[in-house]
Structure 1
Amino acid sequence: MVRPRPVLLGAVLALLLAFGGGLVLIPAGGPGAEAADEGLPLPPDIPRLAEGPQYEECLGLLRSDPDGALSFAEGWEGAGGGEGARHCAALALLALGEPDRAAERLEALARNSQGSAAARAAVFAQAVQGWMLADQAGRAYAAATMGLTIAPEDTGLMLDRAVALGTLGRYRDALDDLARVTQAEPDRAEAWVFQAAALRHLDRLPEAVGAVDRALALAPDNAEALLERGILRQLRGDAKGARADWQRVIAVAPDSAAADLAQQNLALNEAGPKRR
């Protein structure tokens, strides 16, 4: 089953910090700083751990009123809400900017749940994102690995683990997971972007260029792919091409983390000659 991957801002920032390199700077505020303002890792077709109107009501509150969702979940758990209540409470903590507490609960829930393998894998994926938001890539790697023990063909978890491995500097191991993803889903543009970045960190620039070109062939306006190609162009001495890519990032995704990083890279690009 191909499970859609949500894109939390914090998760994207963690990924870019793992694979950024080049001119990319670490954004201020930390990887979880804006978690509460972004969508939760809860696409509508992710398998649920429970059923019933209270579960759906609680999940429905997450985006509009996470404080209310937490209060609802805690009251419901006290009345015997079980796994559904604990799941909603953990996601509410994530929405409220407490990713470490959320990830701890999500991981425990995924380990001990009586739900289906698909549902448990989905919760492990949510735990991975929580740990990444909490800047704990080692815990994210462990959670992804546990998820893959029950859903070994889950390419989303493979991708999550690759991001965690990249954050830990384990680029060769990340490439192993990314190779499995691109083999299973060759049209998955973000996997090619991450592969390009990992290859760049290993100084395999021609291969990195090939991977990012593949990503952009699949998704010409993918902001992360454009950001990465700009970095590669800068490293290869093509300052004009790098500027064009970073300007395109800002044009196609002006409110994204990639655009923030592209803007910083443009500023550094402009400042470079003056420093010399």
Structure 2
Amino acid sequence: MPLLTAAAVSLALLQTTATGERIAAGEQARLEVCLTKIETDPEDAYEDGLAWLYQGNRPGARQCTAMALIALGHQAEGAERLKNLANSTDGGTLEQRAAYLSQAGNAWIEAEDPDSALQAFNGALKIAPDAPELLLDRASAHMFLEDYDEAIEDLDAVLKRVPDHGEAYQMRGAAWLAKGDPDKAMLDVTAAMEADPEDINTLVLRGQVREALRLQSDAGGPIERLEID
């Protein structure tokens, strides 16, 4: 290719890249405005998202409307849209796709559909297998399904990566209690209290574990597996 032609092509590519970066920055700013508005006025945020969709069906617009739907109480529909966005050809980077799947999974937990949540978290973990928060999310789905051994396995992995993760200790303590082992549960409650003494979920769990230990002592042996809230 002649030098002048090559230079012209390079300039055109740089201009295209610069334009693309400006567009991406503008869309990111618009998405941030939408997500902020969802916290105070999700209905208005949803309407903004619909207008944005009409202008070009951009990924940010689809995320905006999906998150607004979740905030408006339509968790399953919002989760499905986020899953579709994660699997779309314009779904963005792998990190973005994992985030969409994580958001979808948590929405399905809210919708009391742990099977769909688990599928979403599994998909996210295929992209980011060592992410502690994704492992914590998947553990919550396992807990919902009463798959306590699987939940403990994920929580072990979280604590291996983040040794002082109070929520992971609290969740693992709940899993041990549900399995009928209040002694192990109390060890995790103690660790959770050290990490975050004010966590209300841990304080409630501590009361449940103490009661289980009392019943175990009165019975003179291990207690049966408990149902916990």
- 2:180 aligned residue (187, 200, 203): 203
Q: Secondary structure at the match of 1:114?
A: coil
Identity over aligned pairs, percent: 35
- Please say which structure displays the higher CA radius of gyration: 2
Q: How many angstroms apart in 2 are the aligned matches of 1:202 and 1:209?
A: 13
Q: How many angstroms apart in 2 are the aligned matches of 1:81 and 1:108?
A: 13
Pairwise CA distance, 1:51 = 3.7
- 2:46 aligned residue (58, 67, 70): 70
Deviations 1:2-36 (A, max 9, x none): xxxxxxxxxxxxxxxxxxxxxxxxxxxxxxxxxxx
2:209 maps to 1:232: yes
- 1:108 aligned residue (84, 87, 98): 84
Amino acid of the structure 2 residue aligned with 1:145: N
Pairwise CA distance, 1:81 = 4.1
- 1:179 aligned residue (156, 169, 177): 156
Deviations 1:102-136 (A, max 9, x none): 11111111222432222222211111111011100
Taking structure 2 as the reference length, the TM-score comes to 0.79
Amino acid of the structure 1 residue aligned with 2:141: A
Which residue pairs with 2:190 in the alignment? Answer: 213
Which residue pairs with 1:151 in the alignment? Answer: 128
- 2:109 aligned residue (128, 132, 151): 132
2:72 maps to 1:91: no
Q: Which has the higher contact order (CA 8 A, sep 6+)?
A: 1
Q: How many angstroms apart in 2 are the aligned matches of 1:85 and 1:93?
A: 12
Which residue pairs with 1:47 in the alignment? Answer: none
Pairwise CA distance, 1:70 = 0.8
Pairwise CA distance, 1:169 = 1.0
Deviations 1:46-99 (A, max 9, x none): xxxx64243233223211221111111111111104100000000000111110
Q: How many angstroms apart in 2 are the aligned matches of 1:75 and 1:234?
A: 55
Taking structure 1 as the reference length, the TM-score comes to 0.66
Amino acid of the structure 1 residue aligned with 2:118: Y
Q: Secondary structure at the match of 1:148?
A: helix
Amino acid of the structure 2 residue aligned with 1:148: L
Pairwise CA distance, 1:220 = 1.3
Structure 2: stretches of 5+ with no match in the other structure: 1-23, 216-228
CA-based RMSD of the aligned residues comes to 1.6
Q: How many angstroms apart in 1 are the aligned matches of 2:197 and 2:159?
A: 18
Q: How many angstroms apart in 1 are the aligned matches of 2:99 and 2:144?
A: 21
8 A contact 2:85–2:91 mirrored in 1: no
Pairwise CA distance, 1:186 = 0.7
Within-5 A mapping of 1:7-86: 51-52=25-26, 53-86=29-62
Structure 1: stretches of 5+ with no match in the other structure: 1-49, 239-264, 266-276
Q: Secondary structure at the match of 1:63?
A: helix
